[in-house]
Structure formats: C-alpha cells, structure tokens
Amino acid sequence: MRILLIHQYFLEKSDSGGSRFNEMTKTWSDLGHEVTVLAGMVHYATGKKPQLYKRKFTYKDLQFHKNVDVIRCHVSESYNVSFLGRLWAYFSFVFSSIYAGLFKTKGKYDVILVTSPPLFVGITAYVLSLFKRIPFVFEIRDLWPESAIDTGVLKNKMIIRFAYWFESFIYKRAKLINVLTPAFRDKLIQDKKVPKEKVIFIPNAADFSLANKIQEDDNFDSVKFKYNLGLADKFVITYVGAHGVANHLIQLIDAAEKLKDTSVVFQLIGAGMQKETLKEEVNKRKLKNVIFRNPVPKEEVFKYILASDVGTSVLKRVDTFKTIYSNKTFDYMSCEKPILLAIDGVSRELIEKSESGIYVEPENTKSIINGIKVLLSMSDKELLLMGKAGYEYSKKHFDREFLAKKYLNKIFEIKNYHE
C-alpha cells in the first residue's frame, strides 16, 4: 500500500521530542508499505528554517527511512513574529504542500493521511484528495481551534469563525477521523455531532525499542552518564520537549526557586520561543538548580531520561489541555521513570490508573513543590516500582508497534471500501 502523509511538523532525523509518525512510518515501511511525507521546512519548536532549506520551495529527502520519502515544503519563518505572521506560516505550508503533492509526488497513492494541528493542513488533504481521487483520513493530535484560542494563539474573531466552519467542513469530508484521547472522541461525537462510526481511537504511544536498545548496550551506563553530567548527588527531574507558550515552563522555574536548598535539579531539554525568556529568568533569580540543554537526537534524549530520577510533563492550565495525552509521558514510561505530571484531565487519569507517578496542579507552585517532596521522600525501591508500573501499563495499552499495525488495518479498510 502507498500512503501520502501530510504532517507539517514531521521531525528531522536528528530531532528529539515526540516522534509519533516518525516511528509509525518506520513500522509501516518495515512491513513493506511505501510512505511519502509532505512536511514543513520550519522546525516546530524554534520556528527557524535549517540552512539546508534556505531559498528552496521544496526539498526531497529520498529514503528518509526504507520505503519512506520526505518532501520538505516551504513554510514562512514569520511564525513567531506576530499573529499575521503565524497565520501566513500556516497558509504558506498549505500552498507549498499542495504544489508538492501535485507536482513532486509520483505514482498512485491508496490513501491520504493528514495530522493536525494546524487545522489548515486539512485544506491540502482535501484538495489533493479531489485531484488524486483518493480518500483521506484526518487525525486530531490537539483540538483546534479550541487549544489555539485557550493559549492566545487565535484571537481574531473572523479567523476563529472561519476555523470552526472549516473544522466542520473537513470532518464531513474525511472518511475517518482518528483521535488521540477518549476525551477527543467524546467531544467530537457529543459536541460536534460527528457520527461515531467515523471516529477511531489510535492514541499516542510508547517507543520501547529505543529505550531497550540503549539499556542493552554494554557501553551505556546510566549511573556513569549521570556522574559525567556532574549530577551524581542530585535528584534530577527531566523535562523533554518544546519550550513554548502552551508548555508554560515558568512553573518549573518557580518551583526550582523554592527548592534551591535541596538536591533537586531541573533539566530542561529542547527548544522553543520561550526558551531565552526562561533562561533570562533563571539568571535573574540566580538559580543553580535549573539546567537548559539544546535539542539532541532521540537516542541521546533517552540517555538523559534513563540517567534521571523523574520525568516531568507540564502544560498551561487551560481546559482544552485536560483532553490530551502528553507524548513525552510515554517516553518516560518506556524508560521506567516515575512521572511528575502537571496536566489535569485524561493525562492525570492515565498516571493515577497506572500508578506511575504523581499529579500536581498546573501553575500551582505549592502543589508542584509538595509533589516533588513526596518523590524525594520515597526510597529508591519505591521509585523503581513506580517506574516499572508505568512501563508495564504502557506496554499493555500503548505499545507503538501494536498501535501502528492497528492504524494500518483501519487504513486498509478505507482503501478496500474505496476500491
């Protein structure tokens, strides 16, 4: 089967952070299927375009992985400049990805799979589905436009009305809609009146293969790795991911200030539009227990997680984020690390049901500190058991390879029905 995937934020080979479709496409290609990805040139966290793509409208990265080709499409670097700049960044990808889909892809595809946000990538999927006469599957990683409104990304009333209209338009025309959490499914069926038979649930998942590969490597020693970082006697809480408005990492800085006389060290790995502001705040407060690290390849990220005591997932306190699973949470689970979670809703239910960590109230410094103190008071054995509980639960319910095959089966049904 040949799949055309539209994913504006598909990661580079060297990227850290969530890699849902990087891993999904790898599994599909290993099973003998061919995937072409229409991806953006601008990095999701930094808003910058790598030098390799400068002055190019499209760039073909053939054989990104076996049977996986990636066509990078132009995205304006105006994303972090202003509201209009961000809007133009979204639509510049729409125009360039339609062009690439029409003129830079070869042969016949069986299905189009498009993943949102941003919501407007649905325009590309719809246009290409008409020209290529094939169905498309629409995936919702985050509820748009709700999340964009809650975080202040979308404020213009006219654009908001258009976004809600287009959301309804694209839901009606998609053959299937995949959601990443049960809350998304309920929202679509109950509030947005999407037929329940159209909605499927293939959630975020844990990548066990990479964590296991590193742990089985005789040359890697997590204790030695931690020692070489100068953190041997520290209680290391690691955050991996974007440093953006939605992540609201200032809440970890506030907690660090109150815990500066303890062994706790916060290690923040990644990039984003708020990173420099956060670094300035740490310098202003003269904090020695916050360490910023640049993004590193996925395999390196797992080494940092494995050498940590706890992994943390945090987001801004808005109602929309009560409906999401944080992708990085599954990375911590696959590394058998306890989780400090500052996200309410379904993520909290996941942690509490799996007994894999401690929930703290987002943006509540006192709650965050109390949660950390609970973790500090636990013995090494208790922390180990908490981490193992998360591993076992995610292995049973959120194995990426199993879910990738389940997704493929749903796509097969669409292909066969279309034929």
CATH number at residue 255: 3.40.50.2000
Q: Looking at the structure, do residues 46 and 96 belong to the same domain, yes or no?
A: yes
Element (H, E) at 254: helix 250-258
Q: What is the pLDDT of residues 257-304, one digit of tens each?
A: 999 999 999 999 998 889 999 999 999 999 999 999 998 887 889 999
59 versus 414: the higher-pLDDT residue is: 59
Q: Looking at the structure, do residues 351 and 405 belong to the same domain, yes or no?
A: no
Q: In the chain, how many domains are there?
A: 2
Tokens of 295: 């993004």
pLDDT at position 118 over 90: no
The residue range of the domain holding 314 is 208-397
Tokens of 156: 């213009």
Residue with tokens 């375009």: 49
Q: Looking at the structure, do residues 244 and 189 belong to the same domain, yes or no?
A: no
**Strand, helix or coil for residue 191:** helix
Q: Looking at the structure, do residues 67 and 95 belong to the same domain, yes or no?
A: yes
Tokens of 228: 């070489």
Q: Which amino acid is at 111?
A: V
Which bin fits 186, alpha (ψ -120 to 50), beta or left (φ > 0)? alpha
Q: Looking at the structure, do residues 232 and 121 belong to the same domain, yes or no?
A: no
Q: Looking at the structure, do residues 201 and 318 belong to the same domain, yes or no?
A: no
Q: Looking at the structure, do residues 230 and 105 belong to the same domain, yes or no?
A: no
Q: What is the pLDDT of residues 210-240, one digit of tens each?
A: 788 898 888 899 999 999 999 999 999 999 9
Q: Looking at the structure, do residues 200 and 54 belong to the same domain, yes or no?
A: yes
Q: Looking at the structure, do residues 371 and 233 belong to the same domain, yes or no?
A: yes
Q: Looking at the structure, do residues 393 and 353 belong to the same domain, yes or no?
A: yes
Q: Which amino acid is at 126?
A: Y
